[in-house]
């Protein structure tokens, strides 16, 4: 669990997390609208050396950026109930980093091994992240960053 006082804290943490990411890393972000999923993703992109502006891919579903590794930012919100083949598995299996907002809408195609992050807004408008590491690499990543996880 990690708490954040403001947006800059979330960006800084995303940037730090990016330093520990490895090729083919999958990160899922769960939380209500406005909790800061895209803000956090901006920090990951910054940490990966992405120079383009990162914004929500709500209408395009996925945006690809170049940094020290390919960086794929997914927003699966509009995919609720969709069953068609979208080619996401290819992106999950290459050497890039995938950050997926609203992963519950593509749950059936997500890789088993991933870092699951649950984001919540506290009553005082600060934010909280809880982590679930699925797989040894993700457990090791959180240990390196000294983050408690489930």
In a domain, 52, yes or no: yes
Q: Is the pLDDT confidence value at 101 over 70?
A: yes
User: Would 33 be classed as within a structural domain?
Assistant: yes
| Residue 149 lies inside a defined structural domain of this protein | no
DSSP 87-128: SHHHHHHSSSEEEEESGGGGGGGS-SSEEEEEEEE-TTS-EE
Q: What is the pLDDT of residue 81?
A: 57
Range of the domain at 140: 2-79+88-101+113-144
* Residue 97 near residue 65 (C-beta atoms within 8 A): no
Give the Cβ contact number of residue 133 at 10 Å: 19
Total structural domains in the chain?
Answer: 1
Residue 30: which CATH number?
3.40.50.300
150 found inside a domain: no
Do residues 58 and 78 touch, judged by C-beta distance below 8 A? yes
Q: Is 107 within a domain? A: no
Do residues 68 and 48 make contact, with C-beta atoms less than 8 angstroms apart?
Answer: yes
Share of the chain residues as helix, strand and coil, in percent rounded to the nearest 5: 30, 25, 40
Reported as a single tens digit per residue, the pLDDT across 78-99 is: 776 555 566 777 778 888 999 9
Residue 12, judged by CB atoms within 10 A of its CB (0-12, 13-18, 19+), counts as middle
132 is a domain residue: yes
Q: Which tens digit of pLDDT belongs to each residue from 17-56?
A: 999 999 999 999 999 998 999 999 999 999 999 999 898 8
Contact in structure between 138 and 120 (CB atoms under 8 Å): no
Question: Could you give the 3-state DSSP secondary structure of residue 52?
Answer: coil
**What's this model's pTM, rounded to 2 decimal places?**
0.91
């Amino acid at each position: 669990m990690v708490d954040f006082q403001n947006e800059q804290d979330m960006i800084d943490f995303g940037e730090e997390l990016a330093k520990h990411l490895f090729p083919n890393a999958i990160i899922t972000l769960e939380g209500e609208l406005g909790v800061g999923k895209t803000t956090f993703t901006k920090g990951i992109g910054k940490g990966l050396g992405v120079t383009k502006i990162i914004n929500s891919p709500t209408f395009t579903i996925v945006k690809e950026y170049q940094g020290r590794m390919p960086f794929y930012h997914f927003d699966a919100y509009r995919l609720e109930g969709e069953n068609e083949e979208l080619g996401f598995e290819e992106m999950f299996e290459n050497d890039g980093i995938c950050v997926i907002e609203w992963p519950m809408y593509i749950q059936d195609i997500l890789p088993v091994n991933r870092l699951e992050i649950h984001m919540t807004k506290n009553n005082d408008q600060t934010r909280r992240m809880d982590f679930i590491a699925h797989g040894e690499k993700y457990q090791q990543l959180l240990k390196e960053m000294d983050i408690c996880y489930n």
